[in-house]
Amino acid sequence: MDFELSSEQVELQRMVRDFAQREVAVAQEQMDRDHEFPYDVWKKWSDLGMAGILIPPEYGGSGLDSLTYILAMEEMGAVSQTFALIWQVHVMVANMYVHLGTQAQKEKWLPNFASGAKLGAFALTEPGAGSDAAGLRTKAVRDAKGEWIINGNKIFISNAGTKISDGTVLMAATGEQDGRRKSISCFIIPMGTPGYTLGQSFDKMAWHGMDNRELVLEDCRVPSDSLLGKEGAGLRQALAGLNLGRIVFGTLGGALTRACLEEALNYAKERKQFGRALSEFQLTQAKLADMATHAEGIRRFAHYAAWLHAQGQDCHTEAAMVKLMGTRLAVQAATDAYQIHGGYGFMREYRVNRLYREAQILEIGEGTTEIQQLLIARSLGC
C-alpha cells in the first residue's frame, strides 16, 4: 500500500474537516439536546456530493473509492458520531443498490440517494434477531399474482422514519434451504406502502439526532420487482456489505479516540490540582499517551483495511479486526477521558460526557465485539 494520500484525498479531508467544524459541530449540540434530525445540514452535506460518495457518476454520485470514504468518515466522526452514522447507513444502503439493483431500480433510486433527497435505511434487526441474523421471523410470501406479502416486526432501524426516508432495504425470510435453513431475501420498501407502518422511536443513550425506530409490516404488499438482488441470497448479500461497515465502525472508534484525546489533553493542561496541572502527573500522562498511540494505530489499520476493500481484495478478517480494535479502544479512551475530567465529566455540558455515551454503542453496531472475536478466531482455524 502507498501510504501517501493523493492531493485529491488530502483536499477532501480538509473540506470535510472544515465543514464538520463549521456546520456539524453546532448541529451536534442541537441534536443531543433536541433529538431532531439535522435536515439543513444534511442538505448542505449532500450538495457537496457526499450523500452519493460511492454512487457512480452516471447516477449523479461522486464515484469515489472506499479508502477516500473512510478518510472522510474519520474527519466527520471526530466532530459528530451521530451525523457520521446517519451518513454511514445511507451510504451502505445506496451501495447495496449499486451492487445488487437492476437497471430500473438503479435509475429510480440512485439519483435521489446521490442528491440526498431520499435517505436510505436498512431493516435487518428484530426483537429476537440481532447477532443471530439468520433467526429473523419476518416472512415474505409470494401470491398468485407474483406479488410479495410481508409480515413481521423490525426494531432499532436507523434512518427509517425521517421526512426524507424512502427505499428502505428490508430483510425477510422467503422459504427454507435444505429443509432447515431459512432462505432470506432483500426487499425494497417505499415509504407509504400499505401495510408498512412506522412504529415507536426510541429514547437512546446517544445518537439523539438519528432516527431509530420499530417497523411494523402487516400484510405489506410489494410488487415482484421489489426484490433487491437474488431471491434467497439476501443474508449473504447483506453480510458482504458488512465488511465496509465494520471498517467504518472501527474508523469511528479511532475518530472518537482522537476526540477524547483532544478534550482530555486540553482539560488536563488547564485543570490544577495540588498546585500543578493534571498533565504534569504521570498517571494522567500515561492515559494521554495510550490515547494518542491507540488513535494512530486504529487510523493506520483502518486505512489498510479500506485500501484492501477498494482494491477488491478479501478483507473479511481485517474488517473484523479493525472493528474489534477500534471500538474497544474507543471505550477505553472515553473512560480515561471521563476519569481525567472527574466530576465535570458527569455534566452534559462537557463534550466528554457525550463522547463517553457514544462510545458504548460502537461495540454493538455492525456486529458485536463477541461476533468479531468469533470471526477472527475462525480465520485462525479455530
Per DSSP, the residues of 238-296 read: HHHHHHHHHHHHHHHHHHHHHHHHHHHHHHHHH-EETTEEGGGSHHHHHHHHHHHHHHH
Distance from C-alpha of 161 to C-alpha of 199, rounded to nearest angstrom: 9
Please answer whether residues 236 and 213 qualify as being in contact, where contact means their C-beta atoms are separated by less than 8 angstroms.
no
**Beta strands 212-222 and 196-201, pairing class:** antiparallel
How far CA 207 is from CA of 22, 27, 35, 232, 362, in Å, comes to 20, 12, 8, 33, 11
Distance from C-alpha of 340 to C-alpha of 138, rounded to nearest angstrom: 46
How far CA 39 is from CA of 42, 101, 117, 372, in Å, comes to 5, 27, 10, 34
Among all residues, which ones are annotated catalytic? Answer: 366
Quick one: which of 289, 295, 282 has its CA closest to 265?
289
Q: In sequence order, what are the residues at sequence separation of 6 or more whose Cβ sits closer than 8 angstroms to the Cβ of residue 6?
A: none
Quick one: which of 189, 186, 190, 171 has its CA closest to 230?
186
User: Given the C-alpha cell 439536546, which residue does it identify?
Assistant: 33
Please answer whether residues 308 and 315 qualify as being in contact, where contact means their C-beta atoms are separated by less than 8 angstroms.
yes
Length of the chain: 382
Question: If DSSP codes are grouped into helix, strand and coil, which group holds residue 207?
Answer: coil
Quick one: which of 152, 319, 349 has its CA closest to 239?
319
Please answer whether residues 109 and 118 qualify as being in contact, where contact means their C-beta atoms are separated by less than 8 angstroms.
yes
* Exposed/middle/buried for residue 290 (C-beta within 10 Å: 0-12, 13-18, 19+): middle
Q: Where are the beta strands (DSSP E) in the chain?
A: 122-123, 139-142, 148-158, 168-177, 181-189, 196-201, 212-222, 227-228, 272-273, 276-277
